[in-house]
Amino acid sequence: MRKPDQSPEIPELSAIADDCWFADFASGSGPMAVRALMSAHVEINAEAAERAALVNAVAAEIALSDIASTFGSPEIAAVADSSAVSTADPVYPAALAHLGFSSAVRPWRSHLGGVSARKVKRLCEPGVDARLFRFEPGAAIPKHDHAGDELTLVLSGGFADENGIYHRGDVSTGRAGEPHQPMGLPGEPCICFAVSVGGYRFRNPLMALAARWLS
């Protein structure tokens, strides 16, 4: 797929999720896919871990190491104390490896000009889409927005869009009606985990095929 017409002026800094997501994470509320993403975010981003600890202290005086005890899902509760496997996979942190994410699965197949996607069915639920993306350097998804919020966690490599530059451990937060066009950065391919609350809405009517690919 074509690259963005023009490189936007974008900042390069550590990007973490908004406080509302940390509050939901600490209380164990919200979709399972979001809780899995936030658990991985805290595991591989030091700033996110500090923010989670602060939110916990303010909200419930819960130590970061005890976050899992607040979760309603046994699947997610188990990942917080899975540090023994945190280095077993070069891409996926323990929070995701515990749920079956692995670099040893079938090879990626390119779909949209250097962009591949895999739906994570076990984390999907009505109104919530969980998906892995892989961007080759310079490859981009067509410009789109969302019907609801979207969180994207970078697991390897990096990507840029109109809002920033993101590397491993960073989270890009998208909101309904805010268009963006993620593009893989130079170097290694970018692998990221995206959770979307609501569907993808492409700006170009000709992108109906892409919409079906993401459905």
Ranges of each domain in the chain? 19-97, 115-213
- Domain at 115-213, CATH class: mainly beta
* Residues whose CB is less than 8 angstroms from the CB of residue 48 and which lie 6 or more positions away in sequence, other chains included: 16, 17, 22, 41, 42, 169, 171
d(CA 153, CA 8): 21
pLDDT score at 215: 52
| Nearest in space to 66 (alpha carbons), one of 53, 84, 50 | 53
Q: What is the side-by-side strand order in the sheet with 190-197?
A: 115-119, 128-135, 190-197, 150-156, 171-174
pLDDT, averaged across the chain: 78
Please state the rounded mean pLDDT for residues 21-38. Answer: 91
- Record the tokens describing residue 163, joined without a space: 């809002």
| pLDDT (tens digit per residue) in 70-123 | 444 444 444 444 443 445 788 999 999 988 898 877 667 657 778 888 889 999
**pLDDT of residue 2 exceeding 70:** no
pLDDT reported for residue 55: 85
| 200 against 90, higher pLDDT | 90
Mean pLDDT, residues 4-8 taken together: 44
